[in-house]
Amino acid sequence: MKVIKQELLRKIKEFEKAYKIKLPPERIIGIGKRGLVVKLDSKTCLKISKDVGFLKREYLCLKELNKYSIGPRVFSYYPKFDAFSMEYIKGVLFEDFLLKETSKTTILSVIYKIMDQLFTLDSLRLNKEEMHRPVKHIIIKKNQPFLIDFERCAPTNKPSNLSQFMQYLSSARVSELLTKKEIILFKKNLLERIRDYKRNLCEETLTQVKSLIWFYPRTSFEKIYTIARTIPKGKVATYSQIAKLANTNPRVVGFAMNKNKLWPVVPCHRVIGEKNLGGFSKGIDKKKTLLTADGISSFSEISKYILSLDELNEHSIKLLENIEKAYKNALKKS
């Protein structure tokens, strides 16, 4: 490592001379087996390799993935130094985020966003690698996750980004962190859901995997989201029904739906008013489109699709029982 560091520092000196800039040692963000990352300014950093051509693949990979809002934005590649400039992401590592964040909804939202990015990678048939232990590969900035370090990313016919990440979340150390935050992983059904996901890579199977990560509901919003997520496809429930079961006000339910960060696990488009469709943060036309996709064909007769309060309560009780059981098992193991 000492020899590698010396070689990298030598290349940094050459880079400084070529571009007439100063990159003092205190700007070094990190040193790996082959490369070094150094800050150019408050918004930009440089990744440079001791080998020639090693980082070109990562640069080209990130350039393509930037189209899907994945990874730090890349700017320029420097062939002579096998280096590229990219966006400097100032945030916290994923596990540090888990330790510091107090909102269960925010934690779950960030996990779902990571899963969305991994789904995109799987769909593109690219394997990032190291997602089974991405300790330094996920940075959280303002509750937005950024995947970094794509040195080993390569095409494959059998992508495993999401399955590796679920393996990571299931590990003893991370499970314990999640349990302390009252975030629950339904491990019993995980293997089967991952198999379904690999056989049929689509949004629906992704949502099924997401649904295996939930929280122990204590606050009004957490209870509202837990009840709302049980509304089945092709059915709707009213703000008043959910409010009654959550022991709160219908307006609070409406506000929670408007702030929902957990769609589609929490299908807020299936929550309506007593006599109308109610509101939707993405517009009523989008709500109608989603309900139509669910199999609801008549909005003038929407009332015939409303679950009875007993049905909604039955669905909610079943989910709460599963949550209670999974949470107790997690506590035993932590």
The HSE-up count of residue 290 (CA atoms within 13 Å, CB side) is 20
Considering the candidates 45, 61, 153, 268, report the single residue annotated as catalytic: 268
Rounded to 5 degrees, φ, ψ at 286 are -65, -40
First and final C-alpha spacing in the chain: 36
The HSE-up count of residue 245 (CA atoms within 13 Å, CB side) is 27
CA–CA separation, 172 and 257 (whole Å): 33
Q: Please give the structure tokens belonging to residue 315.
A: 């669905």
Q: Please give the structure tokens belonging to residue 12.
A: 């940094």
What length is written for the chain?
334
Alpha-carbon torsion, ordered 318, 319, 320, 321, to 10 deg: 50
CA–CA separation, 47 and 36 (whole Å): 6
- Cα–Cα nearest to 40, from 90, 86, 91: 86
DSSP class per residue in 228-258: HTTPPTT-BEEHHHHHHHHTS-HHHHHHHHH
Active site (annotated) includes residue 61: no
Active site residue ranges: 268
